[in-house]
C-alpha cells in the first residue's frame, strides 16, 4: 500500500517538500492534518450510521488498528468514537427508501 506522500509525488511528479509547503501556505495546515481531518469526518459519518464495527470503520479508512483511529478521532473531536455515537444520529443519518416517499 502506497502512503499519501508517495502517492502525491508519483502522480504530481513534484518533490513532496515542495507540495507540502505549497499546500500549507494555501490551506493553513499540513497535508497530513488535512487527510486526518477528512478521514475523521468520514469516520463520523460511518459511526453515525451504526452499520459497521469500529474495526470495520478503521479498515475501510486505511487505519492500522481501531485504536489508531480512536486516538486520531479523539484528538480531532475531543470525543471517543463511542461517545460520539452516543450523541445520537446525525442530521445526515441514513433513512430507508420508504421514508423518502
Give the count of beta carbons closer than 10 Å to the beta carbon of residue 35: 13
Mean pLDDT rounded to a whole number for the chain: 87
pLDDT at residue number 3: 86
Average pLDDT of 54-74?
A: 95
Dihedral angle over CA of 83, 29, 57, 10, nearest 10 = -170
Confidence of residue 86 (pLDDT cuts 50, 70, 90): confident
pLDDT at residue number 59: 95
Q: Is residue 99 predicted with pLDDT exceeding 90? A: no
Q: Is residue 101 predicted with pLDDT exceeding 60? A: no
pLDDT at residue number 22: 95
Measured CA distances, 74 to 39, 84, 92, 99 (Å) = 13, 10, 21, 33
Residue 15, φ and ψ in degrees, nearest 5 = -65, 140
Segment 11-57, tens digit of pLDDT: 999 999 999 999 999 999 999 999 999 999 999 999 988 889 999 99
Q: Is residue 91 predicted with pLDDT exceeding 70? A: no
Amino acid at each position: 500500500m502506497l502512503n499519501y506522500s508517495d502517492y502525491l509525488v508519483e502522480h504530481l511528479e513534484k518533490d513532496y517538500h515542495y507540495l507540502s509547503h505549497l499546500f500549507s501556505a494555501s490551506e493553513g495546515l499540513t497535508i497530513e492534518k488535512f487527510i486526518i481531518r477528512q478521514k475523521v469526518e468520514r469516520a463520523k459519518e460511518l459511526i453515525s450510521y451504526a452499520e459497521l464495527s469500529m474495526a470495520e470503520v478503521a479498515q475501510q479508512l486505511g487505519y492500522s488498528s481501531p485504536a489508531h483511529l480512536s486516538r486520531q478521532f479523539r484528538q480531532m473531536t475531543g470525543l471517543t468514537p463511542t461517545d460520539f455515537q452516543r450523541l445520537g444520529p446525525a442530521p445526515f443519518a441514513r433513512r430507508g427508501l420508504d421514508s423518502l416517499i
